[in-house]
Amino acid sequence: MNPLQVLSGKMKDMSRGELGVTFDRVPDNELGTVIRRFNEMSLSIVELIDKNNSMQEQKRETEIESLQYQINPHFLYNTLNMVRWMANMKKTDDIERSIVALGNLLRPVFSNKDPMCELRDELAYLTHYIGIINMRFNDSVQFDIDVDETTASCLVPRFILQPLVENSIASGQREEEQEIFISIHAESDGGELRIVVSDSGTGIPQDLLEELNRRFETGEAYESAGGGSGIGLRNVNKRIRLYFGDRYGLRFVPRDKGAEVVVRLPSLQSQKKD
């Protein structure tokens, strides 16, 4: 085949997305000079694409890490405020219990670098958090978990449920000792993990619910659903989408009473051995 025809064919291959196309044999003439330049250009394109992909992955990992550390001080700040409040009220027994609970709460924050954990660990973390909340609100937060053992071993990003529960408490309690019931149900089916956090609070007006869901989809800034953890909700949604893509994330579901948010994640089973 004519070398020019071969060159034309390889150019067409590149235009169809076949990268790294080169000539094995380069003639020692003017056409050979063109072919050498073609080879150099083809390999340079591959190198640039690999470099760009690497930079994008580093950027993604950096943003995830940044978001992770952005949310952790929020936990510490709120919890220490509770300890300070109880100290002012001179409830020494409660202070001792709260400090122990705070230690349990902060242990996974500072001791584990892995951004993923089993759902059971995330639920244990939530239990410590609710314990601290109930010291502040006189056991007015009732908490129920409905998760089977198989689903509990699914992997999830750390610290994705606490902001949702915090939002339920903040938006559902209009008085400090008003009781609120929070339920967490999770199931894994068809390669997808769905975690549903629902509460018995005042609920979300339909127009606000639609606006929140729209902003979950676009990643825009927004206020929380009724005074809760708006930054935390946005943070969780953004982290999930960075990890797994835009088909996953948070979505509020309309309810006659209370609020319900669904967390959609890919179903990833832990390989941890007992």
Residues 235 and 101: their CA atoms lie apart, in Å, by 24
pLDDT above 90 covers a percentage of the chain that reads: 32
pLDDT in tens, 27-67: 788 878 888 888 888 888 888 888 888 878 877 776 776 66
Rounded mean pLDDT, 219-223? 62
Domain ranges of the chain: 3-52, 114-266
Model confidence at 187: pLDDT above 50: yes
The pLDDT assigned to 173 comes to: 61
Average pLDDT, the chain: 82
The pLDDT assigned to 70 comes to: 61
- Read off the tokens for 185: 């149900």
Residues 26 and 237: their CA atoms lie apart, in Å, by 53
Q: Is the CB of residue 168 less than 8 Å from the CB of residue 259? A: yes
**Amino acid at the residue 83:** V
Q: Is the CB of residue 144 less than 8 Å from the CB of residue 181? A: yes
The pLDDT assigned to 148 comes to: 96
In this prediction the pTM is: 0.70
The pLDDT assigned to 227 comes to: 47
Length in residues, the chain: 274
Residues 172 and 178: their CA atoms lie apart, in Å, by 9
User: Among 84-98, 102-116, 139-153, whose mean pLDDT is lowest?
Assistant: 84-98
The pLDDT assigned to 221 comes to: 57
Residue 74's pLDDT band (boundaries 50, 70, 90)? Answer: low
Phi and psi based region of residue 139 (left: phi greater than 0; alpha: psi -120 to 50; beta: remaining):
left
**Amino acid at the residue 98:** S
Q: For the domain made up of 114-266, give the CATH fold.
A: Heat Shock Protein 90 (3.30.565)
Residues 94 and 193: their CA atoms lie apart, in Å, by 37
Closest CA to 263 of 105, 179, 147, 102: 147
pLDDT in tens, 192-220: 999 999 999 888 889 999 999 999 998 77
Q: Is 197 in a helix, a strand, or coil? A: strand
Model confidence at 264: pLDDT above 90: yes
Model confidence at 222: pLDDT above 60: no
Rounded mean pLDDT, 141-163? 94
